[in-house]
Amino acid sequence: MSLNPRLENLDADDQTGDMPYNAVETIIRKREGDRLDDDQIRWLIDAYTKGGIADEQMSALAMAVLFQGLDDHELSVWTDAMIQSGERLDFTGLSRFAVDKHSTGGVGDKITLILAPLVAACGAAVPQLSGRGLGHTGGTLDKMEAIPGWHADLTDDEMRHQLETVGAVICAAGADLCPADKKLYALRDVTGTVESIPLICSSIMSKKIAEGASGLVLDVKVGSGAFMKTLERARELATRLVSLGKAADVATVALLTDMSTPLGMTAGNALEVAEAVEVLAGGGPADVVELTLALAREMTALAGLDVDPADVLASGQAMDKWRAMVRAQGGDPNATLPVARYSEALFAPVTGCITSIDAYDVGVAAWRLGAGRARKEDPVQAGAGVLLHAKPGDHVTQGDVLMTLHTDTPERLDDAKAIITGAVTIGDGPAPARPMVLDRIA
């Protein structure tokens, strides 16, 4: 079915300027699998951003895109239209090469907290505009806000000054950066269209391109705790993300990384900050160190820096950058982090070897304990979360502590235990080790 966009019975309220399109026709056209015109896409994004298209109409279109997709050209135009809905930052005037990292979201993913100061210590500028958690995946800003005094909101001038003087910034995106994405992201979350690859791609890359970095490394998570459950779907997502970045003259590389098991030993805001600081101090879990260095090496390569991030991490320079970065945004790097008022240990029911810990179950448990939110406006508990005492491959004896649950509201414990009790599988011997980095797309 091919529909003519010039319908005879358009209402004036359905049009923007002289564009001969309306929302219902656009929904039908994509529902039937037809390609949307460039101008039609630009009209759609502009009209929705300005309130000319109702949420229920955009919801229907998002579902049509979920089922019918967007081809590469449609996706490029859609992404550019979202960029054009707001301001675009420019860091080309900085004395350092600006390189950013984006993770598609996981459980225990505190990598940004370590990576930003580490890559800054290597000589790059790292403008890390981050978000808050929703559902079972944690948010970087929630983690940083567990640090007493730290604040996420900076003006563009403050962000640029911090990048020039410190080298790294973790902050919230300004209200004028991709307002179309802010509206569409919230809509997707409540309409069952989050997993649409074109909508994921346009959401991520519109923000990242608008942020103005010259290089971008993407950490595309794969596994139970990720949006992409299979390697095939993750590879498709990564390939389209990289293509969009390169088309916008942003040097872009993607790593596909394992999210079948939580990263590190913690899931929860203050718990993860403490673990990140442990890594910056030269310790920390091996998987967190491994992934941090893999991403740092990609970022420094894009920035043209001849330096080994492992040496910089070992030297303590990254810790110095972390402390400077926290102070620059009002935080006290020496302050005691919040601790939840209640905790409960869970014990190994049998003796054996841990063969798996389901990342999704751990993430949902942390969310139920108060570390996450169901809606963007919900508060989070800084001290809530899950502390693991063993990982896959470790041998445990019946009665050993497997994990500790933390919360300020003990009435949440039963709901958390209901899902996390089945998260750990104990067998006779270790399962084959799964590599941290599963693939690289460039």
Active site residues: 102, 181, 188, 203, 207
Calpha distance 431→296 (Å, rounded): 29
| Other Cβ atoms closer than 10 A to 235 | 18
Instruction: Give every CB contact of residue 431 below 8 A, 6+ residues apart in sequence.
Output: 355, 356, 392, 393
Q: Which residue has the tokens 């894009």?
A: 302
Helix axes 55-68, 179-189, angle to 10 degrees: 80
d(CA 203, CA 194): 10
Q: Is residue 24 packed enough to be buried (19+ CB in 10 Å), middle (13-18) or exposed (0-12)?
A: middle
Phi, psi of 95 (to 5 degrees): -75, -10
Terminal Cα-to-Cα distance of the chain (whole angstroms): 37
Contact between 353 and 236 (Cβ < 8 Å): no
As to burial, measured by CB atoms within 10 angstroms (0-12 exposed, 13-18 middle, 19+ buried), residue 389 is middle
